[in-house]
Homo-oligomer: A and B are copies of this chain.
């Protein structure tokens, strides 16, 4: 029965001449192999072939080692089993492309060794996971192994004898697929990125060994067992989040992304999660075209690829919101897979532009087509446009907003976070911002406190300081009320809540605007932040107008941290270092920070000038006499030296019901260590003043050093671009249409 159904499918796809599937058929296909071997030679694809040959030839020379599982991640047996599946999948592709038997033989011998050892294995000896694997300490890694091994097996299917196939399928592949699914339902039936790997693994094994039941299980999950409802995973998360009705690959697609393709944990984790989605989806496309998987949910998988790309700086590095190690970028193999597969779907030349930067393609027809596109030279830059990506399954659980100018080296990229919490990896930074000048961080997000895979730092796991520092509000660029983190830094307070994006208007390239509000982070305090990227020739380099308002019926201390990292140059008022640094507090991250200097502000404005990576920056802010500036450096109570020694400053206002932190954030100058000439080392802004601040409107006056004035009128509320507004100012009535209006007075 199984056999007939799968054969029918193959007939529908290929009109195969016999009942046997044409192999390979998973990601790399028989048609794909023809395309590659009969098409022109392409330098980028040849590089992929040669790189793979170097790796696999070396592996063949070293000899096959399939050790008894013993180690955790980083240890020998763990790394060796990872190497084995990578080598097998590359060898499989090489066999198809070069037709050299040695590659097929390598896969066969390796599989037979696994086939021999597998039945002898109990659970992995390490007991750190709620879902212990066989070869690895957690089923996630076993699923990785199966996803790649399925492709390797498929590639050498015709090379194997019937007997060999039966042995490998009966003793290794099918029972292994069963193990990570029916024997580990908590792992397999979750809606979670780990489980997506599980679904993909079982589905791809199913396709590889013609087992439709496995494919069905992968697509729709196991029958749900209600008693699992309240079980926890070993990271402290629920196995099933509230209300999960379905499981399997479709449920993952339906739940993982927002309709805009945003992934709630953020791009660092999305990058990792994309691989099983794209690989299994392309295998389904090649074997179950009727599912039309890439069109599912209004083509959300393709949207997710673009959402991922939009969430990168000029260097292609992901915005390090939530738990993220900085430096992860579009050059990662997961994004190469995503870009290559997506290109076959839409032939977007912008994707070719990305692939040129990646300088690497997949060893299959998807990679080949990208290399072909590049060789034709018909490439455009990926348009990294200003976007707002809705969060949550319905796209209405807040949003991540990205505003970008296009000024070459002076490009500004502003990331504005009014999303949901981001599950267990979320940080407590509602309405936080990150700012880049080109690929340089202007206002940084600390990222995670973790040195991934570095054994010296607690085996590369999340460090205690991830919770005590990196997740805390103080490590971000957003308001702090009464010295406490948003939601008091507690996941249970934060989960299910999101900020409210009110305005996103990028119709005017000279002033792009986003407004969002939050009423959850601090019960009883309404937060409202307006950020605008202003690119006005009369004012030189583009800059950010930042208006952060807080309204409460009680008096509070409000602090606004700016994570400039280094190096304080000068300010007004001047900062003079204290004789000794002081630890700023006991919790909410303050215990990890030294106060190095403070200065009382006696005027209605202040400025703060710094220098970092050959660029000069200034923040010019509105203040009240009695406010203070605090210069701080991270690293206190950091027993194991896990925290970077970066600097930031706080603008603090005390005993206020309402506060408005209004500031210009301005990258204005550069320096060359070769010419030793500073170019515009000081601010081009003389002053900023808030002239009107009502619930409905904000009017700001900005004056530059040549006395040119800019009046900015902003409608604070959700409104349409066609709406008319008017406000009075010094006896004069100003009217405008839309979210904002900007007036230059020379």
A567:B332 contact, CB within 8 angstroms: no
Cross-interface CB contact of A577 among B333, B451, B638, B674, cutoff 8 Å:
B638
Q: Which residue of B lies closest to A636 (CB)?
A: B580
Q: Does A724 contact B (CB under 8 A)?
A: no
Q: Does A606 contact B (CB under 8 A)?
A: no
Q: Which residue of B lies closest to A644 (CB)?
A: B567
CA gap between A577 and B454 in the complex, in Å: 20
B452:A676 contact, CB within 8 angstroms: yes
| Given A328-B676, A454-B569, A681-B455, A641:B577 Cβ within 8 A | yes
Residues in chain B near residue A456, CB distance under 8 A = 569-570, 609, 611, 681-682
Residues in chain B near residue A328, CB distance under 8 A = 673-674, 676
Cross-interface CB contact of A332 among B570, B609, B637, B674, cutoff 8 Å:
B674
| Given A673-B325, A673-B329, A455:B577 Cβ within 8 A | no
CA gap between A681 and B639 in the complex, in Å: 21
Cross-interface CB contact of A645 among B331, B570, B633, cutoff 8 Å:
B633
Residues in chain B near residue A681, CB distance under 8 A = 454-456
Bitwise, A444-455 to B at CB < 8 A (1) or not (0) is 000000011111
Residues in chain B near residue A674, CB distance under 8 A = 327-329, 331-332
B566:A645 contact, CB within 8 angstroms: yes
B579:A580 contact, CB within 8 angstroms: no
Q: Does A113 contact B (CB under 8 A)?
A: no
B567:A641 contact, CB within 8 angstroms: yes
| Given A456-B569, A456-B682, A570-B456, A577:B639 Cβ within 8 A | yes
Q: Which of A328, A329, A454, A675 has the most C-beta atoms of chain B within 10 angstroms of its own C-beta?
A: A454
CA gap between A451 and B566 in the complex, in Å: 14
A676:B579 contact, CB within 8 angstroms: no
Copies in the complex: 2
Residues in chain B near residue A576, CB distance under 8 A = 639-640
B453:A678 contact, CB within 8 angstroms: yes
Bitwise, A136-158 to B at CB < 8 A (1) or not (0) is 00000000000000000000000
Q: Does A540 contact B (CB under 8 A)?
A: no
Q: Does A568 contact B (CB under 8 A)?
A: yes
Q: Does A581 contact B (CB under 8 A)?
A: yes
Interface residues on chain A, size class: 35 or more
Residues in chain B near residue A329, CB distance under 8 A = 673-674
Q: Does A583 contact B (CB under 8 A)?
A: yes
Residues in chain B near residue A425, CB distance under 8 A = none
Residues in chain B near residue A611, CB distance under 8 A = 451, 454, 456
Residues in chain B near residue A647, CB distance under 8 A = 645
| Given A566-B645, A639-B576, A640-B577, A677:B453 Cβ within 8 A | yes
Q: Does A575 contact B (CB under 8 A)?
A: yes
B673:A637 contact, CB within 8 angstroms: no
Q: Which of A638, A645, A675, A682 has the most C-beta atoms of chain B within 10 angstroms of its own C-beta?
A: A645
Residues in chain B near residue A123, CB distance under 8 A = none
Interface hits, A622-642 → B, CB 8 Å: 631, 633, 637-641
Bitwise, A315-359 to B at CB < 8 A (1) or not (0) is 000000000011111011100000000000000000000000000
Q: Which residue of B lies closest to A457 (CB)?
A: B569
Cross-interface CB contact of A327 among B332, B597, B609, B673, cutoff 8 Å:
B673
B454:A671 contact, CB within 8 angstroms: yes
Interface hits, A282-333 → B, CB 8 Å: 325-329, 331-333
A325:B676 contact, CB within 8 angstroms: yes
Cross-interface CB contact of A682 among B455, B566, B645, cutoff 8 Å:
B455
Q: Which of A457, A609, A647 has the most C-beta atoms of chain B within 10 angstroms of its own C-beta?
A: A457
Nearest chain B CB to A148 CB, angstrom units:
16
Residues in chain B near residue A596, CB distance under 8 A = 641
Q: Which residue of B lies closest to A330 (CB)?
A: B674
Nearest chain B CB to A50 CB, angstrom units:
19
Nearest chain B CB to A189 CB, angstrom units:
28
CA gap between A457 and B681 in the complex, in Å: 11
Cross-interface CB contact of A580 among B325, B583, B675, cutoff 8 Å:
B583
A-B residue pairs in contact (CB < 8 Å), sample of 29: A325-B673, A326-B673, A327-B673, A327-B674, A328-B674, A328-B676, A329-B674, A453-B676, A453-B677, A453-B678, A454-B678, A455-B681, A456-B609, A456-B611, A456-B681, A456-B682, A457-B569, A568-B641, A576-B640, A577-B637, A577-B638, A577-B639, A577-B640, A577-B641, A581-B581, A596-B641, A631-B641, A633-B645, A645-B647
Inter-chain pairs besides A454-B671, A567-B644, 19 sampled, C-beta below 8 Å: A325-B673, A326-B673, A328-B676, A331-B674, A452-B676, A453-B678, A454-B569, A454-B611, A455-B678, A456-B609, A456-B611, A456-B681, A566-B645, A576-B640, A577-B637, A577-B639, A577-B641, A633-B645, A645-B645
